[in-house]
Amino acid sequence: MKYSKATELRSYQASPVERLEHLAVFLSTLPKGNLMFSRWYGQRGGCAVGLAAALCPWFQAQGLRLENIDSLKDCHPVFGKHAEWNAVAKFFALSDEDMKSLFDQSGYGGNMRPDPSIVSRKIQTYLSMQAASSPENSPENLVVA
């Protein structure tokens, strides 16, 4: 079933792992050229988190949204009381190092416009490594505020 509004989705709080899994799937559906690390969102392009917050009702239903969406300069993600990179960290239960590895050009050899499928695979690899290294401490077992 395809959802067009966040209000059409079942009401439940997904774990950070589920959120990352959904992001990987979402990114795998994006055409080349939409993903860029130079801005959160604007003119139908942006970073992985910005695109998900702007275009996917599932993420909106989870509480991730973009503030100032009409401004390239001021547009940024918000989750609860958190904004920008703090919102990303809380939403996905990621460390600064993991966020840079997954959502910054430094994690892709400086490439500002990686293919979305590459980012999707990197997220899937990250999740596999996290599950294998410490299941009891995995992000899905963390409580998100």
Classify residue 135: in a domain, yes or no. Answer: no
What's the pTM? 0.83
Classify residue 138: in a domain, yes or no. Answer: no
What per-residue confidence (pLDDT) applies to 37? 95
pLDDT at 72 over 90: no
Classify residue 50: in a domain, yes or no. Answer: yes
pLDDT at 21 over 90: yes
Q: DSSP secondary-structure letter at 35? A: B
Classify residue 101: in a domain, yes or no. Answer: yes
Domain carrying residue 86: 12-127
Classify residue 36: in a domain, yes or no. Answer: yes
Classify residue 112: in a domain, yes or no. Answer: yes
Apex 66 CA angle, 24 and 34, nearest 5: 50
Question: What confidence category does residue 44 fall into, taking pLDDT thresholds of 50, 70 and 90?
Answer: confident
Shortest CA distance to 33 belongs to which of 123, 101, 114? 114
Classify residue 3: in a domain, yes or no. Answer: no
How many domains does the chain fold into?
Answer: 1
* Percentage, residues of the chain above pLDDT 90: 74
